Copies of this chain bind each other. A is one copy, B any other.
Amino acid sequence: MSAMILVVEDEPAIRELVMLNLQQAGHRPVAADSAEQALALVRESLPDMILLDWMLPGMSGVEFARRLKADSRTRDVPIIMLTARSEEQDKIAGLETGADDYITKPFSPREMNARIKAVLRRRAPQKAGEAVEMTGLRLDPATHRVTGNDRPIELGPTEFRLLHFLMTHPERVYSRAQLLDQVWGNHVFVEDRTVDVHIRRLRGALEATGHDGLVQTVRGSGYRLSVHAER
């Protein structure tokens, strides 16, 4: 459940409060005190989620969100808006702009964490940090353990991440390029064919418990994790 979360909030006290809380919850918070600074940060690297104060000096939260939604690169980053109780109409505007949820200030740490987790679960399952299981194959990010029918399975770091991604996005084909983006990170220069090798290593490890059949090749397209028999 470790996600990079961008906090956009101009009030220093509240910002620090939120930062501290996110850190405590195991996330990696990044701060911005204005939409402009936030845009610069987003240009650098894409966060997994944005906590956005709706009342900002300069560019408003609405405008900032609108820009993010206009760019295909940032369109899918979940946004939770922070809003004062009186700014009811902003909630409407916010949801229309595409915010995933809103938190009314003042809010409790517990509420904030719950909402963040809920949104992550919906929008970025692999960041939610929950154990995944299918057909006796089980992967738990918290303990970093993988078992097949309760027998331990050893995986290297990359194979672990690969399996984690596939298990949180099953029944769907991903091209090698997509897998590189999702599992390796969007800014790496790695040969497409390298994915093949890691798929093979993953299959090799799953073979011991007969779960290797879950990893299916879709000729000409990529790979897929599926509980259904191949073809």
Closest to A181 in B: B23
Q: Among the listed B152, B171, B219, B229, which residue makes an inter-chain contact with A231, where contact means beta carbons less than 8 Å apart? A: B152
Interface of chain A: mostly helix, strand, loop or mixed: mixed
**Contact: B118 with A105, CB < 8 Å?**
no
A1-33 vs B, Cβ < 8 Å mask (1 yes, 0 no): 000000000000110010010010010000000
Can you give 13 contacting A-B residue pairs, CB < 8 Å? A17-B95, A20-B186, A88-B106, A91-B106, A101-B108, A143-B171, A143-B172, A143-B224, A144-B173, A144-B224, A152-B229, A156-B219, A157-B221
Residue tally, chain A, CB below 8 Å to B: 48
One complex includes copies of this chain to the number of: 2
**Contact: A96 with B17, CB < 8 Å?**
yes
A178 within 8 A of B: yes
A63 within 8 A of B: no
